[in-house]
Structure 1
Amino acid sequence: MLARGFQGRNVVVFGLSRTGLAVARALALGGARVVAWDDQLAAREKAAALGIPLDDPSRVVWGEVSALVLSPGVPLTHPQPHWVVDLARAAGTPVIGDIEVLGRTLSLGHAPRHVVGVTGTNGKSTTTALIGHLLAGAYGLDHVAVAGNIGRAVFDLDHVPDEALVLELSSYQLDLVKSFRPTIGAWLNITPDHIDRHGDIDGYVRAKKRMFAAMTDKDMAVVGVDDTTSAGVATELEKRKGGPKVVRVTVGTRARKGISCVDGLIHENGKAAADVRDVPSLRGAHNWQNAAVAFAVARAAGVSATDIAARIGSFPGLAHRMEEIAVVDGVRFVNDSKATNADAAAKSLAAFKRIYWIAGGRAKEGGIAPLKPLFPNVARAYLIGEAAPQFAQTLGSEVPHTLAGTLERAVARAYADARADGSGDATILLAPACASFDQFSDYEARGAAFRALALGIAHEKNGAAA
């Protein structure tokens, strides 16, 4: 996929991770004169191997540069602007990101019928993937694409789809947009996050709200309103002259207008429309919000409520996010390795009632103390990694626990205990509430190891039964 709007212009791309590499290639394909750089030698070497021209930005004549395209991970304002940002600003050079480059590309007549932006603090990836699932079911896989912060850089797509482009948008990405305009903007929720990058909660919210800035009365804003900040955003948009139409989404109370979800039943304008109670990938109230927002977006994109209801139950979910791996001897194995802090782990601990909980790794501030109200859901805990002794102190006498040390021992002991449980409702849950870096390269490697162990038990059981 190529980037349009910069043909014959000088563009500096800084930050050569997945996003930076993709946008640098796309700009060059679109006729821009690109030079790129990264603080890390390994990243520069990778770019050079791909044929991307490199030059130290301190040697660039910034007065001749049309734009600095900054990768999302490079600090824009806090804790202080990166030195390349200072150079660009001193010369009056616009600082933008790949999503703004996309916006300019789409504005030149290459846009799909629906451009969906999804943001918020929690649930973005699941909601983005679910929207893609629903729209692909309606319009066909070849006519819908999912990209952005979910893991695939938008300029890594082969082409712009004709029906729908669904984008997960982080605050880092939105901080760099100026004219990007989704036709449907979905806002899930707000809790304090990324304060180190935005200065304070107000800076974080301002970055998120940039998604709506260029939207017009031809567009639709779907807003979860279950927290005070998000409800305020919905009200602001409703009052904005010429702004997008607003659909409010709430969980827990049936609303006469908009979309609501009560105990897993989604309602549209007060009438039952879809049921997610038995969808394994959408367990828990937090996933009900994700499902309700996705329902509202799909409706805004023209999909019938009947088609959504028929399709939503086949959503496979995302790897490492409350991913059901197997059921063996009535014991459910669930991989929530993405739950790298207490707030994230709380979602899955609240979704099950008899849990054999695998937790631990490299502890984050606050540990698991905030999870104490959910301890009654835990039959026994199996503690791994550096945090095991600390977590054992927090659990104390409230929760029986085992210092398992490694994930392999934790899974084996949890399965033995859960199989002997006899309740018929036992769940072995990997929800570490920790970073993975003491024993694994990342949360994905940790989740993959858990999946392999669970499937190994399933295969062994099936082989014995045969």
Structure 2
Amino acid sequence: MIPVTTFAGKTVALFGLGGSGLATALALKAGGAHVVACDDNPAKMAETAAKGIETADLRHADWSRFASFILSPGVPLTHPEPHWSAKLAKGAGVEIIGDIELFCRERAKIAPNAPFVAITGTNGKSTTTALIAHILREAGRDVQMGGNIGTAILSLEPPSDDRIHVIECSSFQIDLTPSLAPTIGVHLNLSPDHIDRHGTMELYAAIKERLVAKAGLAVIGVDDPMSRAIAEACEARGVNVARVSVEPLGTKGVFADGETLVGVTDTDAAPMAGLSGIGSLRGAHNAQNAAAAVAVALALNVSPETIRSGLSTFPGLPHRMEEVGRIRDALFINDSKATNADSTEKALKSFDSIFWILGGKAKEGGIEPLRSYFPKIRKAYLIGAASDEFAKTLGADVPHVLCGTLDRAVAQSASDARALGAPAVVLLSPACASYDQFPNYEVRGNHFRDLVRALPGIEAKGA
């Protein structure tokens, strides 16, 4: 835990008592603050009270007593309209911040030179965060990884000069972190997302830009126009910028030349590492992620040899093009995290001869944007609520069967892939939310993994 001593002796309000909210309340209490916590869920309120934190309905609180208001990033700050608690805080003139802001203030107080790497982007930020942490651990560094990737930042060990915090930041978290100024800020890419929470694409981009605007080094992906504009704006303000791309670069940074990562300095360009054969880093999107991780590692004085070792041993993340196992020529891939067409596109780009399991609760636009990849699909296996809609889209272009459940889809696709007698991929990449049949994509992916590992003749990976 990181005790938040910057609010010692002060009273703060807090709304949202999920994992990070409760961790924040306890860290504030450990640092000497008095916390008044609130949540819409009575069970969360009771759990928090049992840990010695005062709970109260903030609708009836005296806001003049609060030095700050800590808001969970999952709670609307501005759009589609501010949460009632945010309205009350703003009306009382009380600052609204989040747990990463508390970390930033504590770091500034106790270890201002502590290495802090912050990562954001519409896509790829979890993989890049995990890959950076993995390479740094390969180098023998003391690494603390958390934030949006899973472990609440204030549950980590405190900042120190020889400890590196590698933190994934969502746009919601950045919006609540006014003093964000990491040692190295990584911005990967931008595409439309969370517009309901930010109002416009321009506002969404402006929030993302804050992560790199005050960084000691800004590592910025430049493969989309808005991110290129962010790189140019940062450079114009005097920020030290390293670009990453899947296209050749003429300025400082790292780019992917096919499956080779090339480092570019002010004086030369030289191959740094290869991605060939690294299953956890398939596809152009992962080449961009790896290029960003290499740029960070080089900036933190990790040797090229260690970087290559870290890339080759990176296990990847569950449910993101995760290799589950193989039956002879048939490879089974768990990409349950692909909950929309944009995410599934990355998987379809990465494989050929695909037996595709898809469906669930459809997102706007369905799978029509994926039509150009239909020639890669040998057969599709439809599950869940979107089955009829997706069957119409696939039409006569892709052989398909309505399986209904994931259990039947795995059994039929495995049988068909085995019968092919040639290299093939059984790919769970649903292009849908899971909520019609599963609580979340993790449960869906875990079930797929269990089904595959139970298949006769499977050579399971990581079992």
Deviation at 1:111, TM superposition (A): 5.2
Match of 1:95 in 2: 96
The answer for unaligned runs of 5 or more in structure 1 is: none
- Distance in 2 separating the partners of 1:47 and 1:145: 25
Deviation at 1:461, TM superposition (A): 4.9
Match of 1:116 in 2: 117
Query: Once structures 1 and 2 are overlaid, which stretch shifts more, 58-67 or 362-371?
Result: 58-67
- Cα displacement string for residues 390-424 of structure 1 (whole angstroms, at most 9, x for unaligned residues): 1111000111111111111111110111011122x
Q: Confirm or deny that 1:457 pairs with 2:448.
A: no
Structure-2 change in CA distance of 1:461 and 1:184 (3 Å): closer
Q: Confirm or deny that 1:234 pairs with 2:235.
A: no
Q: How does 1:424-443 map to 2 (within 5 A)?
A: 425-443=423-441
- Distance in 1 separating the partners of 2:247 and 2:380: 30
Q: What is the DSSP-based 3-state SS (H/G/I as helix, E as strand, rest coil) of the residue aligned with 1:151?
A: coil
2:186–2:212 Cα contact (<8 Å) kept: no
- Distance in 1 separating the partners of 2:199 and 2:251: 38
Structure-2 change in CA distance of 1:462 and 1:301 (3 Å): closer
Structure-2 change in CA distance of 1:326 and 1:461 (3 Å): closer
Query: Once structures 1 and 2 are overlaid, which stretch shifts more, 7-16 or 55-64?
Result: 55-64
Query: Once structures 1 and 2 are overlaid, which stretch shifts more, 269-278 or 344-353?
Result: 269-278
Q: How does 1:30-69 map to 2 (within 5 A)?
A: 30-69=31-70
- Distance in 2 separating the partners of 1:196 and 1:261: 34
Q: How does 1:299-448 map to 2 (within 5 A)?
A: 299-423=298-422, 425-448=423-446
Structure-2 change in CA distance of 1:200 and 1:44 (3 Å): same
2:110–2:159 Cα contact (<8 Å) kept: no
Q: What is the DSSP-based 3-state SS (H/G/I as helix, E as strand, rest coil) of the residue aligned with 1:196?
A: helix
1:116–1:167 Cα contact (<8 Å) kept: yes
Match of 2:128 in 1: 127
Q: Which amino acid aligns with 1:284?
A: G
Query: Once structures 1 and 2 are overlaid, which stretch shifts more, 299-308 or 410-419?
Result: 299-308
Deviation at 1:306, TM superposition (A): 2.3
1:139–1:163 Cα contact (<8 Å) kept: no
- Distance in 1 separating the partners of 2:250 and 2:392: 44
Match of 2:205 in 1: 205
Q: Which amino acid aligns with 2:440?
A: D
Q: Which amino acid aligns with 1:280?
A: G
2:100–2:177 Cα contact (<8 Å) kept: yes
The answer for unaligned runs of 5 or more in structure 2 is: none
Q: Which residue of 230, 250, 260 corresponds with 2:245?
A: 250
Q: How does 1:187-206 map to 2 (within 5 A)?
A: 187-206=187-206
Structure-2 change in CA distance of 1:273 and 1:59 (3 Å): same
Deviation at 1:43, TM superposition (A): 2.1
- Distance in 2 separating the partners of 1:433 and 1:372: 13
What is the TM-score of this pair, normalised by structure 1? 0.95
- Cα displacement string for residues 137-172 of structure 1 (whole angstroms, at most 9, x for unaligned residues): 1124xx101100011111122444632100000000
Q: What is the DSSP-based 3-state SS (H/G/I as helix, E as strand, rest coil) of the residue aligned with 1:302?
A: coil
Deviation at 1:254, TM superposition (A): 5.3
Q: Which amino acid aligns with 2:444?
A: R
- Distance in 2 separating the partners of 1:426 and 1:406: 22
Deviation at 1:45, TM superposition (A): 2.3
- Cα displacement string for residues 220-279 of structure 1 (whole angstroms, at most 9, x for unaligned residues): 1000001110001001111104xx310011103354642100211100012111001211
Q: Which amino acid aligns with 1:296?
A: A
**Identical columns (%):** 48
- Distance in 2 separating the partners of 1:165 and 1:236: 26
Q: Which amino acid aligns with 1:311?
A: G
Q: What is the DSSP-based 3-state SS (H/G/I as helix, E as strand, rest coil) of the residue aligned with 2:420?
A: coil
Match of 1:182 in 2: 182
- Distance in 2 separating the partners of 1:4 and 1:251: 43
Deviation at 1:376, TM superposition (A): 1.1
1:254–1:261 Cα contact (<8 Å) kept: no
Deviation at 1:202, TM superposition (A): 1.1
- Distance in 2 separating the partners of 1:52 and 1:79: 31
Q: What is the DSSP-based 3-state SS (H/G/I as helix, E as strand, rest coil) of the residue aligned with 2:352?
A: coil
What is the TM-score of this pair, normalised by structure 2? 0.95
Structure-2 change in CA distance of 1:112 and 1:443 (3 Å): farther
Q: How does 1:130-141 map to 2 (within 5 A)?
A: 130-140=131-141
- Distance in 2 separating the partners of 1:223 and 1:290: 11
Structure-2 change in CA distance of 1:426 and 1:111 (3 Å): farther
Q: Which amino acid aligns with 1:175?
A: D
- Distance in 2 separating the partners of 1:177 and 1:461: 47
Q: Which amino acid aligns with 1:251?
A: V
Structure-2 change in CA distance of 1:453 and 1:81 (3 Å): same
- Distance in 1 separating the partners of 2:110 and 2:223: 37
